[in-house]
Amino acid sequence: MDVTGLVLRAIAGRPCVLVATMPGGAAVRLAVERSLRLRDWPQTSTPAQSDLLLVVGPDCPNLHAAVGRLWRDLPAPRARADVRTVDEVEAVLDAGRARLGSPTAQREQAAMPVRAGGQRSGTQGEREHDEDAGEVSGHARHDRHGGGEAGGGHREGGQADDEGHGDAPSDGDRPTEADHGDSGHARDGGDTDDHDEHHGHGGHGGMEMPGGLPMAEQGEDRDGLTLDRLHVPLGPLLTDWPAGLTVRLMLQGDVVQQADVDDPAPRTSGEVMEAFWVQPWVRASAGEPVPVGEAVRRRAAARLDSLGRLLAVAGWPAEAVSARRLRDDLLTGAPRSALAPRFERFDRRVGRSRTLAWLTRGIGVVTARDAHEAGVSGPTARADGDVTDRYRQWLTEIRGDLPRLDEPSLLRVADEESPRGPWNAARPPSAGLITLLPRLLVGAEFASARLIVAGLDPDPDELAVRAPEVARE
């Protein structure tokens, strides 16, 4: 009896998938998330939970090392697949499942030569980045195949979830305090580029760290006390995170003392970079006739995508899935009559959730004056407050967009703002949001860091649209 083949076929029947989204891969990510949901394949948030690593979007050479580290941290049996375009999604998923369930493929993979540090060679990222051999991911290890549709009911921060966490929350379908737990919203950044390369990690230099992990330094905090300081990177390939964005934090205790954002401008290997969420505005700026209804649909879908990320980070996966289903239906042209009742129910559950408001109250405060000084407009400026105010502003503006889904008049860029603010290719709205991030993170608790980022949800792909404009100046 072929027990190995039997086990592999069982795993491949419903593989747990870790999606690593490259800059410019938003459209492909949406297609992947929809396909995984229809196939009932759990989408995971750490390598330890995963069977299949799915690299989504254009090839980004500067992220090969980060992808290689994710791949090395997937326990066997495992498979990797790369999907570049929307049309390839179904075929690539089928091929990835076939490799995962093939005893021959798994034996060949296990027989690959082992390099110094214990990693096996053979993947694209590993071949090109041997210098990362000693580094391990900071992701916590979890039991696989225990999850559901929206991230497997995983609580971020390395804590195992209670049973039923992936189901709709109690208390009138709102999240309970137990559902959110300690929130763990600052899921660690073990999949970032090598932190030893960062110039701000004073004293580490190129020195090899024990187990590939940085050691704590000491320094004075804001009160003059000498405490340990630890450098922790977040990004660029975390789930429910802006693709390609890397934020480097210096922690003393659980408080962020310093935050720096790496240059988020994506670098691809000659492939066309598309800023999916602002395409109607980019096309209209180029003189192409674009109906207002198309732009309004894209804007409402983008804000639902942001809500889905925020809810997933906050630990409410059931409503994160609801937001993503509404998003997908908007993008596929569903009529307002079918969308409005579902959005009203979603709006009531999320907008009136006392636990979600409690969880996000008082963090990431951006006043209207702060927004003006940073060159930020759009919903962030209108919300004039914290993360709670911003997600409620998103809900309000989606509600206002629904009656306009079929508006036939042509889009004028100056009259209709893009999802994150008025569109300007010379300074995209997300440029101001990224500028705000370090100030919002400094002084915040580490557990709130990911909520703050999700509550702004900048889109680094917008900066790729800006790059050609700057180059011509």
| Domain-terminating residue out of 87, 109, 131 | 109
What pLDDT shows up at residue 383? 97
pLDDT tens-digit series, residues 385-401: 999 999 999 999 999 99
Q: Which residues pair with 366 in a beta bridge?
A: 385
Whether 219 is in a domain gets the answer: no
Whether 115 is in a domain gets the answer: no
Q: Are 369 and 356 in contact (CB under 8 A)?
A: no
Residues 298-324, mean pLDDT to the nearest whole number: 98
What pLDDT shows up at residue 226? 65
Q: In the chain, how many domains are there?
A: 2
What pLDDT shows up at residue 378? 95
What pLDDT shows up at residue 1? 52
What pLDDT shows up at residue 24? 93
Could you tell me the pLDDT band of residue 336, with boundaries at 50, 70 and 90? very high
Point out the least confidently predicted range of 27-31, 138-142, 459-463. 138-142
Torsion angle of the four alpha carbons 125, 131, 134, 139, in this order, in degrees rounded to the nearest 10: -40
Q: Which residues pair with 20 in a beta bridge?
A: 55
Q: Report residue 346 CA to chain centroid gap.
A: 22
Q: Are 448 and 247 in contact (CB under 8 A)?
A: no
| Domain-terminating residue out of 58, 86, 109 | 109
Q: Are 438 and 323 in contact (CB under 8 A)?
A: no
* 203 residue type, one letter: G
Query: Where residue 383 sits, what CATH number does that domain have?
Result: 1.10.645.10
Residues 11-15, mean pLDDT to the nearest whole number: 93
What pLDDT shows up at residue 136? 32
Residues 117-139, mean pLDDT to the nearest whole number: 38
pLDDT for 170 beyond 60? no
**How far is residue 245's CA from residue 193's CA, in Å, rounded to a whole number?**
11
Q: Are 262 and 189 in contact (CB under 8 A)?
A: no
pLDDT for 81 beyond 90? yes
pLDDT tens-digit series, residues 248-302: 999 998 999 999 999 875 566 555 578 999 999 999 999 999 999 999 999 999 9
Whether 470 is in a domain gets the answer: no
Query: Where residue 63 sits, what CATH number does that domain have?
Result: 3.40.50
Whether 119 is in a domain gets the answer: no
pLDDT for 375 beyond 50? yes
What pLDDT shows up at residue 213? 56
Q: What's the mean per-residue pLDDT of the chain?
A: 81
Which has more confidence, 168 or 332? Answer: 332
pLDDT for 137 beyond 80? no
What pLDDT shows up at residue 197? 40
The Cα diameter of the chain in Å comes to 71
Whether 238 is in a domain gets the answer: no
pLDDT for 231 beyond 80? yes
Whether 411 is in a domain gets the answer: yes
pLDDT tens-digit series, residues 102-124: 988 888 888 776 443 334 444 44
Q: What are phi and psi of 122, to 5 degrees?
A: 130, -25
Give the range of the structural domain holding residue 17, as residue numbers without chain letter. Answer: 3-109
And the tokens for 222? Answer: 């804001």
Which range has highest mean pLDDT (14-18, 128-132, 156-160)? Answer: 14-18
pLDDT for 219 beyond 50? yes
What pLDDT shows up at residue 465? 80
Whether 284 is in a domain gets the answer: yes
| Domain-terminating residue out of 79, 109, 139 | 109
Whether 134 is in a domain gets the answer: no
Point out the least confidently predicted range of 183-187, 257-261, 441-445, 453-457. 183-187
What pLDDT shows up at residue 171? 43
**How far is residue 163's CA from residue 370's CA, in Å, rounded to a whole number?**
42
